[in-house]
Amino acid sequence: MEKIEHINYIKVPVAKVYEALTTHEGLSRVWTTDLIVKPEVGFVNEFGFGDEEPTKMKIVELSENKRIVWECTDSDAEWIGTGISFDLSEKSNVTSVVLRHYNWRELTEFYQWCNYNWAMFLLSLKLYCENDEGTPYQSRTF
């Protein structure tokens, strides 16, 4: 099994980062403007990226200001059954975010492309939390 793992440091309190990762406002400014989300364990968030069917992420864990875990239930075949976690910790008003995308069956070209895009996601999260200007999918140039 393969795993993508990134860390980033965001110069805001952990509550702001947690809110950005769990609310419609935050995720629409960071990841995609086409979404249906609800910060509730068991809810299946939906994220749209253009003409494709939406990516569906079941919320498996919400530990306020500490951890968020999603399980992919519908998306590209390589994503189904994978998990995405965000582990948060704060020190001196700087929040570290450890993003893991795990249970990949193999390292493929799509895996490598997603690895790059998760890094872009963390940059967008940082820009949104620190400057109120993220870069959701619809604002990116590919």
Coil vs helix vs strand at 77: coil
Residue 123, Cα to own-chain centre: how many angstroms?
11
Our count of domains for the chain comes to: 1
| Residues making up the chain, counted from first to last | 142
Residue pLDDT, tens place only, 25-81: 999 999 999 999 999 999 999 999 987 899 999 999 999 999 999 999 999 999 999
CATH number at residue 23: 3.30.530.20
Please tell me the predicted confidence (pLDDT) of residue 2.
95
**Domain region containing 108:** 2-139
How far apart CA 110 and CA 90 sit, in angstroms, is 32
Give the count of beta carbons closer than 10 Å to the beta carbon of residue 15: 13
Average pLDDT value for residue range 106-110: 97
